[in-house]
Amino acid sequence: MTRIALIAHDETKPELIEFARTHETQLQEYDLIATGTTGKRLLEGTDLEVERKESGPLGGDLMIGAEVAAGELDGIVFLRDPLRAQPHEPDISALLRICDVHDTAIATNLASASFLIEGLAE
Ligand SMILES: O=C(CO)COP(=O)(O)O
């Protein structure tokens, strides 16, 4: 089954929840994982089943990166906050890097997220 991760920083979480609601039918076809707080918000705001990892600043990004390294993930939607620095920036960079190493699809804004979700359906 196609497995994808959903991640958003605090300021972009509302956009991700809205995106997940809009694409809920499609997302139900996927095995979903998320960082801790994003996952909690998805469980509260949608009817999707989501496996929650640790919160991003506590290692959640790295846990998702480990799945990329193990070849277990097909794609990631990661709505980063482009306007605020994050304390765990090294973890975020590591996740982006490991996606490039393994050529794993990662969408970091809503426009590309739509392409990713629809592309993985094909
Ligand atoms: O910080 C994050 C990604 O870098 C997201 O973590 P949370 O979903 O736990 O807020």
| Confidence at residue 122, expressed as pLDDT on a 0 to 100 scale | 78
| Confidence at residue 33, expressed as pLDDT on a 0 to 100 scale | 98
Cβ of 65 closer than 6 Å to ligand 1, yes or no, is no
Which CATH number describes the domain made up of 3-121?
3.40.50.1380
47/70 Cα distance (integer angstroms):
28
What ipTM did this prediction achieve?
A: 0.98
Catalytic residues: 61
The 10s digit of each residue's pLDDT in 45-86 is: 999 999 999 999 999 999 999 999 999 999 999 999 999 999
Instruction: Give the helix/strand (H/E) hosting 106.
Output: strand 105-107
pLDDT at 108 over 90: yes
95, 87 contact by CB (below 8 A): no
| Confidence at residue 20, expressed as pLDDT on a 0 to 100 scale | 98
| Confidence at residue 12, expressed as pLDDT on a 0 to 100 scale | 98
Domain ranges of the chain: 3-121
Q: How much is the pTM?
A: 0.97
Cβ of 92 closer than 6 Å to ligand 1, yes or no, is yes
| Confidence at residue 1, expressed as pLDDT on a 0 to 100 scale | 92
The 10s digit of each residue's pLDDT in 11-48 is: 999 999 999 999 999 999 999 999 999 999 999 999 99
- Expressed in angstroms and rounded, the spacing between residue 61 Cα and the centre of ligand 1 is 7
